Structure formats: structure tokens, C-alpha cells
Structure 1
Amino acid sequence: EAHALPAPDPRTAAAATAEAPAGAAAEAPAEAPAAAESAKVCVACRTGRIDGDGYCENCGHAQPRERDHMEQELEAVAAVSDRGLRHHRNEDAFAVSSVNLPDGSAATVAIVCDGVSSATRPDEASAAAAEAANESLLASLPAGTHPQQALHEAIIAASEAVNALAAEPTGAMEHDSRRHQNAPACTLVASITVGGLLVVGWVGDSRVYWVPDDRTTHPSRLTEDDSWAAQMVANGLMGEAQAYADERAHAITGWLGADAYELEPHTASFKPDRPGVVVVCSDGLWNYAESAEQMARIVPLDAATRALHSAQVLVGHALDGGGHDNVTVAVVPFPMPPQRAGSAHTKA
């Protein structure tokens, strides 16, 4: 489960329950949620009640929501997502999981999705994509599907889940035939680690970085943005510095959504020849550490043994830099392969 870390939320019902006889508490469990809800008071002024939209009726302060800050830690991966300092809601989402393959080895999955703010319901899009991709991998990997093929299929499943949101009429959009033109949309990036294999997949401009434990060796960015700037550089129309200085640099050219031009899932597999960590993140982080070298400098040296702490540090770096966007990062320690046969990778 993802653990929300909102600001303190005093509940007088909690104190009342603690003082009540055990028998009384057991007799009326159905009333407890209602009592707790009615006792919600503002985290800012501590007196006003909270209205149905999450605002204080006394001072107007917006109350923390579950998705404002989320953290999750498993044995082999940890992730943190934060709303940032400028956005009114968190439109990022993540999923992390671990699953056994038919040969008994464990695969670790990390998925990060970034809702497209200019689209409708971007927060729902990212959540739907992360959940669908994770569920797809939890089904296909134990069945023996190769991780790279499984990730390709998971991206398609995520796309279908986001597309389905456009078919759900909501409010004023219910009778609008143009609702598909601004349909819910998001990016997706994911990694699968199993044994000595690292597989990444993406659509959009969320990224995966490889940071070796030995910082004297070179880190790498393992994904290529679906963005205007990347397209200009790839086509030889601009140099990298010129393209990324342009105001159109971060306009994405690939995304999940009913109004996407076409779905082009990218996948690649790598076999690192040394231990390190995999950093899976939204642009809310990499905008503050864009190059692989910059990312490596801010990843804690003990990231391989303190994944959650490292994810928290990386999110903190983005917030300290201004927190202009939602920021989400998963940190996946990567073990030393049994046989060091050199680094290799394949793309699809």
C-alpha cells in the first residue's frame, strides 16, 4: 500500500474511542467513521470544519489530500511522490511491486506516470496507467513472458486504461463530441529488474537513469524523450543546447491517451556489469538534474542500501530547487550479476 503523509489531522473521536470501554467500541463500529469525519478540523486554524471540497469553512485553507505526498517501500524498491510547491494537486502516480518468475527468481517493477496538465483529469490518467501497467506485469511475468515483451504489453494495457477514461462522460463533457480532443493523458516510464537484466520502457518524457555505486564510472540515461527538443536533435535540425533552450523544448510528442497520434511503446534491455541503482522519475525531478552526471551527483552514495531515504532526498532536491512541478521518483537497487560479461543492451 502507498502511505499518505498528510499534515496532522486532529480527530476528537480518536480520543473518545480510546476512553470508551472495549465492549462499547465493538458494538457500534459502523458509527466510528461518521463520528471521525464530523470531527475533522482544519490543520491550519485548528477550529474550522472541512467542507466537501477539502477546504476549511473558517479560514479557507486547502487540506492535505492523500496524493499530496505518498511513499512506498518494498524490499527491493522504494518510491516517493509529492505534489510540489506550485501545483494545487498531484497529477503523478506510481506503482512498485515484486513478483516471482517461473524459475523462482524475483522481478522488481517500478512504474512512474505523469499526468498531462493541459488534458482533462490528468490525475486520473496517471493513476489508471500505473495501476493497469502494474497489473499487466503481475499477470504476465509469473506466466513466463520475457520481461521486455511483458513491459511492451503493459504499456499497451496502460494506454487502453487511459483511453477508457475518455469514454466516461463527466459533467459538462457528457454531450461534447470533442471530448476526445482533450482526453485524459499521461506519460509512462517503467523498469523491470531480474537477475542481471534491466529492462526499461516508456512513452513520453519521464525517464530512467542508471547510477553505478562506483561514482568514478559513468552514469547513463537509459530513455530517450518523446519531446520536441529530442525530435529536433534526432533529426539533425538543431544542436542539443539550442533545442533544449527553446521554449518548445519540453512539449511532448508521445503520450498515453485517446487523442495520442499513435502509440509507440519504447523498450530497451540492459545488462550492467557492476552494481548500482536505477532511478525512475518524472520530469519534476529531472528538470533539476537533467544530465546523467547531474543525477548521479544528487543520488546518495548509500542509495543501494537505503532506497526510500534516497528517494526522499531526490524529491527534497526538487523541492529545494523550487518544486515547480509534481515530482515522483522510484529507486531500485541493482545487484552485481553472477558473471561479469560486460555491459550490453538491446532496444525494441
Structure 2
Amino acid sequence: MMSQMPQLSACPSCEWPLESGDRFCGACGYDLSAVPARPDDHPTVALNGAVPPEEPPRPAAPAPAPGTGPAAPAAAPGTGVRFDRAPSSDDYPLQAPEPPPAAAPEAPAADQKVCVACRAGRVDRDGYCENCGHAQPRERDHMEQEAGPIAAVSDRGLRHHRNEDAFAIAACALPDGSPASVAIVCDGVSSATRPDDASLAASRAASRSLLAALPRGTHPQQAMHEAIVAASHAVDALAAEPATAREQAPHQNAPACTLVGAIVTAGLLTVGWVGDSRVYWVPVDRSSPPARLTEDDSWAAQMVAAGLMNEAEAYADERAHAITGWLGADAYELEPHTQSFKPDRPGVVVVCTDGLWNYAEGAEEMAEALPADAAVRPLHSARVLVGHALDGGGHDNVTVAVVPFPATAQGAGSA
């Protein structure tokens, strides 16, 4: 059954007058059949059974007096029907208020490291972001430094979980105004507690001692001896510090490391060491032979010195790198080794840990790995030597300092 067309006198869209039977507005084309028919009147029955009369329009409810709260719902006049909702008021807001802004995350303190991944979270003591949990790269995984004409590079290597090496380099002036270059390289003993702290403490203490002694006129060889003793005391002091939870174990070796250093002046080259880190001499004129200037405090070196093995046999033994001298509270006896040389030609001094010389053990091998322009590009040369060790396998931490001889006054600085 078709619904009856509504009877309209004007178009509900444009108010154009209509005639009876029009299906479309003659002015705007509005479809008059779309206008819903007026529904039949079905009055709501009150709860008391009476039929309420048609309710006239009500004025807006007056606003409640301050402090009286909202007005009570109004009831239909003369009926028992309760309206469950008060009439709307123009005073009511048309939309919900915006929620307060979310609290911003607490900004890290000025001296607090920020996560390299999320750039928002703080980094905890173990090196992880407190916000996203990302492990942070450690500063000592790869380090590079220049100080005047000297340069040094240290790398974690490819197998170790942290870098236990450390270095300190500096350029200073002697009492007569002539320049001096200083390089200290330390290798933490992995079997000891806190080897990374030991190497760092030793390198800093030795460097401070040298920079204090040389400008006073102390002979470089004596200054080197004093520097090694100062480094030993610094490492010994670590054993007295309380261990952290992660370092607590039924048995602990005291913090320990090796040390090797070089002092280069205008006419003198002084080296000092305890352990198996080394110093090599490579002339600028490669037609002259290179040389190794230190002797290892190691099992292999003892076997060779005692005539029980040749060098090839000793270093092929699995005990070859067991050291017999080191810095630390449990060292048998501190025996600093120092020597001075007077090279008759320009050259380059290479100060390094066994992480490098394991891949260039002989002096000729080290000279071959060292770039020919090392005397004028020490940082580049140090990078090349570290790369040589990494290309060879990178089984250990790798640290090397490159020091041109004679010393030149190309600025001054310290690491």
C-alpha cells in the first residue's frame, strides 16, 4: 500500500508556494514525496492513567543561584509523569572541555646521559635506557685523540665485550723551552677485577706524573720511573675500594694492568714498561732497520732468556702471553723497566698493546704495517694500525700511540 503524499502549502526547501498534487517543487525541484507524512498522534499515557494535555512550550529554566547546585528535574504540569532530564539551557557548554595536557616526561638532569635511541630516557649505571631499554654504546669502545704532534687510537676489538685498554698522550715544554711528547698505553688484565678501571687509573696517574716532572727538569728516564711507580699506586688503591654487586665473587684478583710509555724530546727517546705491551722504533727512511725497544714480562720471554726455547717456539706455546710483571696490589714485586736511546735520524715511535703486536710481532712486520707518512700523519697512521689488527681478527682490545721523533712544537695538549 502506497503511503499518502503529505499536503504541503510551501516547499520545505525553498518556501515556494505549492499546489495540490505537486510531486516536485517548481522552483528548486525538491522531491516532495521525500517529506515524511505526519505521524498519527499517540499521546503518552501517564502513570496514573490520565491523558496529559498537549504541553505548551516551556521557557528556559532559570540558572540556579550560586552554591545551590543544579535545578531539580521539572515535572509535566498536572500529570504524574516525571521527566528524567532537565531542559537544556543556553548556558551549558556546547562541547566537552579539553582534557588537561598529559604530564611531560621528566627531563634528564643536565649531567645525565640521554638515550641515543629514544632521546628521552635516562641511562642507568649499567648502560641501558630507563625508558626504552636500549643498550648504549660505551665511550671506551672506540677512542681517538690528538695532542700536538702525537695521536692515539683505542678499539674494543671484535671479540671482547668491552675495552679494557686505556691511553694518555700529551705534549709539553721542558725548562729550556724545547718540546717533549709523552705517550702512555695500558692494558687491563682480563683475569683481574675491574681491568678497565685499572688501565684508566694507571694511564692518568702516569701522565700526570710525567707532566709534573718534565717541566721541572727531571731527567726523562727518572721521570718515567716515577711515573710507573705513581701508576702502580693508583692501581693499588682500587683494591681498597668496595666492590659493586656485580663484582662480588667468592674469590677476586685485585685490579691489574700492564703499562708501557715513551718520552720523546729533541734528541732523546726514553721508554718504560711493566708487562707485555711494547714500543717499536721505525725510521722515516725505511732503508734503515726498525727495532723493538722493550722486552716482555711474560712466560715466553723468560723461556727465551733462559735458553730453554727459541722465540718462535716460546710464542707458539699457549702459555706465551702469561705475564710475569704487572701493576696491581697482588703483583709480586714492582720492577719498572726504563731505557733511553739517542736516535741519529728521524723516525716514528709506536707504543702499543699486544692487541696490535699479535698481528705485527716483529719489528719488520710493524714497519710494514705502518704508513710511510706516519711522521706527518700520526692519527691516520694509528687508525691504519688498529685497522690492521681488526682485519687480522681483532681477538683482543687494540691500542696504539704514534709519536714522531724528534719532538716538534706543533701545539700542546693532553688526553
TM-score interval (norm. to shorter): 0.7 to 0.9
Correspondence for 1:206 among 264, 268, 277: 277
Aligned-residue offset at 1:187: 0.2
- 1:1-348, aligned counterparts within 5 Å? 34=109, 40-42=115-117, 52=124, 53-55=126-128, 62-171=135-244, 179=252, 182-335=253-406
CA distance in 1: counterparts of 2:114 and 2:163, whole angstroms: 26
CA distance in 2, matches of 1:47, 1:169: 33
Cα distance change on mapping 1:176 and 1:67 into 2, 3 Å: closer
CA contact (8 A) 2:185 2:259 kept: yes
Please list the CA deviations of residues 63-101 of structure 1 after superposition, one character each: whole Å capped at 9, or x if unmatched.
Answer: 211111111112221001111111111110000011211
- Superposed CA deviations along residues 279-306 of structure 1, whole A, max 9, x for unmatched, are 0001111011000000000100000000
Higher helix proportion, which one? 1
- When residues 38 and 141 of structure 1 are mapped into structure 2, their CA distance, relative to the original with a 3 A threshold, is closer
1:167-201, Cα deviation, whole Å (9 max, x unpaired): 1121359999965xx10000000000011100000
Structure 1 residues 120 and 142, CA gap change in structure 2 (3 angstroms): same
Is the 1:227–1:253 contact (alpha carbons within 8 Å) kept by the matching residues of 2? yes
Structure 2 residues without counterparts, runs of 5 or longer: 1-105, 409-415
Q: Give the SS at the match of 1:34.
A: coil
* Aligned equivalent of 2:28: none
In structure 1, what is the equivalent of residue 11 of structure 2?
Answer: none
The alpha-carbon deviation at position 47 of structure 1 amounts to 9.1
In the aligned structure 2, how far is the partner of 1:203 from the partner of 1:47?
43
SS in 1 for 2:216: coil
The structure with the greater share of residues assigned to strand is 1
Code of the residue aligned with 1:218 in structure 2: it is: P
Equivalent pair of 1:205/1:282 in contact (CA under 8 Å): yes
Pick which of 55-64 and 154-163 moved more. Answer: 55-64
One-letter amino acid of the structure 2 residue matched with residue 278 of structure 1: V
Gap runs ≥5 in structure 1: 1-30, 338-348
Partners in 2 of 1:47 and 1:99 — Cα distance?
A: 39
Tell me, yes or no, if the aligned pair for 2:175 and 2:217 is still in contact at 8 Å. yes
C-alpha deviation, 1:145, in angstroms: 0.7
Q: Is the 8 A contact 2:108 2:122 kept in 1?
A: no
Asked whether the 8 Å contact 1:278–1:334 carries over to 2, the reply is: yes
Q: C-alpha distance in 1, partners of 2:183/2:249?
A: 36
CA contact under 8 A between 1:183 and 1:259: conserved in structure 2? yes
Deviations 1:289-331 (A, max 9, x none): 0000000001000000000000011111111111111110000
For residues 390 and 399 of structure 2, the distance between their equivalents in structure 1, rounded to whole angstroms, comes to 11
- 3-state DSSP of counterpart to 2:215: coil
User: Equivalent residue for 1:11?
Assistant: none
Residue pair 1:41, 1:50 contacting (<8 A) in 2 also: no
In 2, the alpha carbon distance for the partners of 1:36 and 1:135 equals 26
Maintained 8 Å contact 2:260/2:277 = yes
The whole-number CA distance in structure 1 between the counterparts of 2:113 and 2:352 is 38
The answer as to whether partners of 1:78 and 1:307 remain within 8 angstroms in 2 is: yes
Identity of aligned residues (%): 76
Counterparts in 2 of 1:304 and 1:175: CA distance versus 1, 3 Å: closer
Give 2:297's aligned amino acid. D
TM-score (norm 1): 0.81
Which residue identity is paired with 1:71?
Answer: E
Distance 1:195 1:229, change over 3 A: same
Cα distance, 1:211–1:249 mapped onto 2, change above 3 Å = same
The one-letter amino acid of 2:355's match is: G
Cα deviation for residue 55 of structure 1 reads: 3.5
Name whichever of 74-83 and 285-294 sits farther off: 74-83
Question: Cα offset for 1:105?
Answer: 1.1
Residue identity in the other structure for 1:72:
Q
Q: CA separation in 2, counterparts of 1:81 and 1:174?
A: 25
Amino acid at match of 2:311: E
Q: Aligned partners of 1:133, 1:82: CA distance in 2, in Å?
A: 21
Distance 1:198 1:55, change over 3 A: same
Output the amino acid matched with 2:300: A
